[in-house]
Structure 1
């Protein structure tokens, strides 16, 4: 891992989706107000004027200041990591960690990609499904590995269908992975659970509260983090032993933070197939 981070011949694969203004794939989309360099000169001049300095926008070189953006956005927009605090105030009777309390050691390691692109949208990934996917890879999980759930939903990014066309994790499946020593689980779908509509429909039919965010609420019993809205898992050259780093931004007392997962692929993987 150390050699891959510094090697010139390492290929970096971006596994994230960024923040986009008003995108149709977010129920609470970011609002991004961009200021160009001319507007930046006006704002910088106003800042200096407020401090008592006689500076005008035209005084800047070519009348241009600094470009920047004002954002209004939740930490669960774009690719992000959910902390245990997102799921509930406690995990098995202990205070749940907020995002700045997540150990960095959890957020780097070798990833295992489990392919569930064959599952129907709205279906739930069981422990048995996970076991079968691992058997297909002839792989036994080790503590500290990062499990990535591939649904193919990232191909729908930018469209409303992104919010509804994917399978989700089950509570038992989530607990099964955590019991193998997995503390970070990622998905390329909008959410970790099945889509909102599927949960709502099943709850109305059954009246069973376990139909509502079961995978998330499993985090009240077992401690783990999840990365939602990943992308480009199909660009990885193999399914196991994929070194990745996925460090979240820290936000005080927050339930999640934006993250940019990156896979580090060395030249020795050339010729390998997924």
Structure 2
């Protein structure tokens, strides 16, 4: 037997005054509406259904990045390594299931970053021997800000050097419980403007590497440092830069 730990946030409707690219809207249709739809489609009155009720249904209007999701290389740039970047539907499904390891990045201030040396130390502290195909999850505790207006500006991120260090060791999927794999964009934007140079804003994303990020994870505190499998299968959306995913960790009972 195995136990499953849910690492995905619940999808809920957001306040209507949020910017559209951040907002998720769920429209709920009840059983009476379903009965009316059946009557319109099939000509059957509600009395032919149990309790006069038809199918309940919902309509989801959400950005591919507005919930717990997996990024494709196309999200970062149109070309990666001199070739057209892959979209989410083009990535091999096998990539999204593999051994997991949690890197402890708790206690850092907003805007701090996990360096390559700290990433290496975190994996060693977890007692994990990194192998190609492993899925690395960075635990910052930033999921406690999920749903708050300043969530996107809270918590630490990961440096480009740490990202490349993982990639060079065969890691193709890496995740974090913050809004973004990069450190908060407000701090990066301020530095980029002051220095007037590229390579600062959104730097870990734009590393010219064909890897995937899982962003907006939760519940990483419920996991052991290592010894579990991660499943993070994204929805197969044509030509998309990302897709929502139900991310879980699978632990074998001992």
Q: TM-score scaled by structure 2?
A: 0.93
- SS of 2:9's partner is coil
Task: Give the structure with the higher percent helix.
Answer: 1
The Cα offsets for residues 79-134 of structure 1, whole Å up to 9 and x where unpaired, read as 11001111112221122111111111111111110011121111122212212222
- SS of 2:150's partner is helix
Describe the shift of the 1:121–1:27 C-alpha distance in structure 2 as closer, same or farther (beyond 3 A): farther
8 A Cα contact 1:26 1:77, kept in partner: no
Task: Give the structure with the higher percent strand.
Answer: 2
Report the counterpart of residue 83 of structure 1 in structure 2: 72
Report the counterpart of residue 34 of structure 2 in structure 1: 40
8 A Cα contact 1:149 1:188, kept in partner: yes
5 Å matches for 1:220-239? 220=208, 222-236=209-223, 238-239=224-225
Q: Which runs of 5+ in 2 are unaligned?
A: none
Per-residue deviation, 1:252: 0.6
Query: How much is the aligned-residue C-alpha RMSD, in angstroms?
Result: 1.9
Alignment match of 2:14 (pick from 1, 15, 22): 22
Alignment match of 1:66 (pick from 55, 67, 76): 55
Per-residue deviation, 1:40: 1.4
8 A Cα contact 1:243 1:265, kept in partner: yes
8 A Cα contact 1:26 1:163, kept in partner: no
Q: How many residues are matched?
A: 252
- SS of 2:129's partner is coil
Q: TM-score scaled by structure 1?
A: 0.86
The Cα offsets for residues 181-238 of structure 1, whole Å up to 9 and x where unpaired, read as 00000111111111121122222222222121001111x2x221010011111011x2
Per-residue deviation, 1:12: 0.8
Per-residue deviation, 1:26: 9.1
Q: Which runs of 5+ in 1 are unaligned?
A: 1-8, 49-53, 269-274
The Cα offsets for residues 38-76 of structure 1, whole Å up to 9 and x where unpaired, read as 11111222233xxxxx43345433221100011211111
Q: d(CA) in 1 for partners of 2:128 and 2:47? A: 64
Describe the shift of the 1:26–1:173 C-alpha distance in structure 2 as closer, same or farther (beyond 3 A): farther
